[in-house]
Amino acid sequence: MLSRKGSRPISMLTAYDCNTARTIDEAGIDMILVGDSLGNVMLGYENTLAVTVDDMIHHAKAVVRGSKEAFVVVDMPFMSYQTSVEDAVRNAGRIMKDTNCQAVKLEGGAEYADRIRAIVEAGIPVVAHIGLTPQSVNALGGYKVQGRGDEKAAKLLADAKAVCDAGAFAITLECVPEPLAKTVTEQVAALTIGIGAGRYTDGQVLVYQDMLGYTDGFTPKFVKKYADLHSVMLDAFRQYKEDVANRAFPEVGQTFK
Ligand code: KIV
């Protein structure tokens, strides 16, 4: 996985529990991300800021139990690495030791290169994450496309080079114009894994609830919906409610003699 640049595109999906990880793994998806999107899609928070290292470890352990082949990456949550290089190494080490995952991911560019370098020197593979970095949603002024305009595009490219030089083996590019993501992919040795970054990155990642249509809320433009799970579940739950009310469930076949 660490040297797949230029070969077939890499597929990655998020997972937060054992059963989903098992299904993703069975489908042959290359990588699983235990994202701190956990906060939004599993825990009902408005953003990712409240997610803790303990939350990540709890869910990542379940995901690792469910994955046989997939390469599992675990997000470092807000304030687990921003505070200092020491905190970054300590928390990355805890995540690796407790979960048995294969790599950690952290948000930020050149300003966090020292954290990435120290974690990599401790023997822990790192995925960087630049472009739209949800942990900085308040500083970015919302969930917007990043790297538009010459100056911002140059800064994003410089960030990609800095995290790659610091030792990140892959870079998540979130909500970046397609031509810029293509340039980054051509100019850095690290694998680029895009989400809302167009067609030319080395791989793609999506939040699994988004691509399954699991929630009925807002769906970002970059998501392709492969199913409408929300409707399937809603219909099943309504049918069950009706069956219970009408004594149509359980039937003889579901009872013990
Ligand atoms: O937390 C997450 O799910 C992520 C993806 C959006 C890449 O970081």
CA distance 1 to 18: 22
Q: Are residues 25 and 145 in the same domain?
A: yes
Q: Is the pLDDT of residue 2 over 70?
A: no
When divided into structural domains, the chain yields a total of: 2
Nearest one of 166, 174, 167 to 192, comparing CA atoms: 174
pLDDT value at position 216? Answer: 76
Q: Are residues 123 and 244 in the same domain?
A: no
CA of 38, closest atom in ligand 1:
1
Mean of pLDDT values over 195-221: 94
162 with 212, same domain?
Answer: yes
pLDDT tens track for 171-204: 999 999 999 999 999 999 999 999 999 999 999 9
213: domain CATH number is 3.20.20.60
Query: Do 233 and 212 sit in the same domain of this protein?
Result: no
Asked if 112 and 233 sit in the same domain, the reply is no
Mean pLDDT of 79-89: 98
Q: Are residues 175 and 206 in the same domain?
A: yes
Q: How far apart are CA 100 and CA 138, in angstroms?
A: 32
126-131/31-34 β-pairing: unpaired
- Domain extent, residue 99, equals 2-226
Q: What is the pLDDT of residues 149-177, one digit of tens each?
A: 999 999 999 999 999 999 999 999 999 99
How are beta strands 10-14 and 203-206 bridged, if at all?
Answer: parallel
Predicted confidence at residue 41, as pLDDT, reads 95
- pLDDT tens digits, one per residue of 37-46: 999 999 999 9
Residues with CB under 6 A from ligand 1: 14, 33, 35-37, 75, 129, 172, 174, 195, 205, 207
Average pLDDT score, the chain: 96
220 shares a domain with 179: yes
Those residues whose C-beta lies under 8 Å from the C-beta of residue 229, and which sit 6 or more positions away, are 212, 213, 214
**Residues 157 and 248 grouped into a single domain:** no
Query: In this structure, are 125 and 246 located in the same domain?
Result: no
196 & 241 share domain: no
Residues 236 and 144 in one domain: no
Ligand 1 atom closest to 193 (CA): 7
| pLDDT score, position 1 | 66
233 and 125 in one domain? no
- Cα dihedral 139→140→141→142 (10° resolution): -120
Give the catalytic positions in this structure.
174
